[in-house]
Structure 1
Amino acid sequence: MCNGTVVNGSAVWDFCTSSAGQIDGRCCLQTDNTSGAVHITGLDVSYCNLIVVEDLSEASTALMIDLSFNPISNLSDLVFEGFSQLFYVILPSNLTCPGGNASWEKTEVKGEVRVCEGQINACNQTGHISWDCPQNSLCSPYGPGFFACSCVESFHGYKCLREGEFPIVEVFGILGGSTILVSLVLWVTQRRKAKAM
């Protein structure tokens, strides 16, 4: 994903140098101070002659992605599902911002590029459709125009309606017992037929 080089003076270059990141090929990398993990915070795939963009999941921690100056004719919003920290996207001017303009604080066309800036939290968009998570769950952003509902602590199951721990012993006890019972019945009935032959 990071093959090639970031152009000196590009948006990703400026972002990376101002945020004390490390440039590696076309990526801006930063190390998490607590875990020591290295994350992609910027990705510059401009001028790569990309026609189709299918998977950017390796860069799901990116704050900035530059896809400008590529002959991309259609870009699915699903490419950016899970990019909850994405703040800045630069696209060819013929494309719309991921999730639509309502998913961004600011969208503008500058020459041949479209700039999408400031991803809006899909969980609390005032003046727009209210995305309701079921009772006993919390909404969290999951990329431009996407959201995820997670059960609050001590709730689980369909629509987070079940309270307490998941009944592992009961479920697997019944499943194991019924499997043994069916196996015994089949063994006895099939054994009897085998003796008759």
Structure 2
Amino acid sequence: MKMKAGCSQLKPVVLILIFNSCFYASYQLTGLQQVCELCSGAVLNGSAVGMFCSSSAGRIDGRCCLRNNNTGDPEHIIGLDLSNCSLTHMEDLQGASTALIIDLSRNPIVNISDTAFQGFIELNYTILPQDIFCPGGNTSWEMVEVKDGNRLCEGQKNMCNQTGQLSLTCPENSLCGPYGPGFFECSCVDSYHGYKCLREGEFPALQVFGPLGASTVVISVLLWVTQRRKAKSL
């Protein structure tokens, strides 16, 4: 018979998870604000992102289209328009990892980091300067077209096999899942965890999240102290 953790063991884990969730939500909101203000101006109604936002009943915030929701969860970016922003490099857009459409056209981009779109599993439409390959390579998309000086990448492909079973590139006791254009991730199946999903049994939440919670508290305190010092110096 499988043993269950007692209530006294679970309470610290729950509190740590709640604290970490609040901290992550705050961090996520900051990342969202940064990416929406990477370029001055706002999404234009007649642009590709603007029309998508209108048809999706989204809300414009700077260069972003945000999903309207009443759940109280942190807002999610569903569209990002960074066209004509004089961008030459693109390395970090993680604040927009929930976007379905991204427009980077009319920029003198010479390089896009290989990991810039890692984790963008919802991304379905990307507009780039015609000299830039689609994220993950053109083979990571259902359709690639060069039109009016832009490269259009539509329909992100799933990098895992199409059987829905174990992927040859994932270890035993794991499943393959999409993780952005050209990327995939291997997740352990139920009751397995650890390196290459070799450990079977319940995940040791207290041992793992305990130190993580402590480090999060330290970081939060340091950030609070820094903000207080800045406020006093003003």
TM superposition score category, shorter chain reference: 0.7 to 0.9
- Cα distance in 2, alignment partners of residues 169 and 53 from structure 1: 38
In 2 relative to 1, CA 72–167 (structure 1 residues): closer, same or farther, beyond 3 Å? closer
Matching of residue 87 in structure 1 with residue 121 in structure 2: no
Higher helix share: 2
- Cα distance in 2, alignment partners of residues 79 and 132 from structure 1: 22
Deviation of 1:52 (Å)? 1.0
- Contact 2:81–2:104 (Cα < 8 Å) also in 1: yes
Matching of residue 107 in structure 1 with residue 144 in structure 2: yes
- The one-letter code sitting in structure 1 at the alignment partner of 2:135 is P
- Contact 1:140–1:147 (Cα < 8 Å) also in 2: yes
How many residues align? The count is 168
The DSSP-based 3-state class of the residue aligned with 1:77 is coil
Deviation of 1:167 (Å)? 5.9
Q: CA RMSD in A?
A: 2.2
Higher strand share: 1
Deviation of 1:35 (Å)? 5.3
In 2 relative to 1, CA 95–168 (structure 1 residues): closer, same or farther, beyond 3 Å? closer
Name the residue aligned to 2:105.
68
Name the residue aligned to 2:76.
39
- Structure whose alpha-carbon radius of gyration is higher: 1
Length-normalised TM-score, structure 2: 0.67
Greater relative contact order (CA < 8 Å, ≥ 6 in sequence): 2
- Contact 1:123–1:131 (Cα < 8 Å) also in 2: no
Deviation of 1:8 (Å)? 2.5
Matching of residue 163 in structure 1 with residue 197 in structure 2: no
- The one-letter code sitting in structure 1 at the alignment partner of 2:176 is C
1:1-44: CA deviations, max 9, x gaps? 22321123000000000000001111000034555431000000
- Contact 1:81–1:144 (Cα < 8 Å) also in 2: yes
Deviation of 1:165 (Å)? 2.2
Q: How many percent of aligned residue pairs carry the same amino acid? A: 65
Aligned counterpart in structure 1 of residue 135 of structure 2, from 98, 108, 115: 98
Name the residue aligned to 2:52.
15
**Structure 1: which 5+ residue stretches go unaligned?**
171-197
Matching of residue 49 in structure 1 with residue 83 in structure 2: no
- Cα distance in 2, alignment partners of residues 166 and 117 from structure 1: 39
| Pairing 1:146-185 to 2, within 5 Å after superposition | 146-166=183-203
The DSSP-based 3-state class of the residue aligned with 2:52 is helix
- Cα distance in 2, alignment partners of residues 17 and 169 from structure 1: 45
The DSSP-based 3-state class of the residue aligned with 1:108 is strand
Name the residue aligned to 2:66.
29
- Cα distance in 2, alignment partners of residues 167 and 56 from structure 1: 33
In 2 relative to 1, CA 131–18 (structure 1 residues): closer, same or farther, beyond 3 Å? farther
Length-normalised TM-score, structure 1: 0.79
In 2 relative to 1, CA 169–83 (structure 1 residues): closer, same or farther, beyond 3 Å? closer
Aligned counterpart in structure 2 of residue 2 of structure 1, from 30, 36, 61: 36
In 2 relative to 1, CA 42–169 (structure 1 residues): closer, same or farther, beyond 3 Å? closer
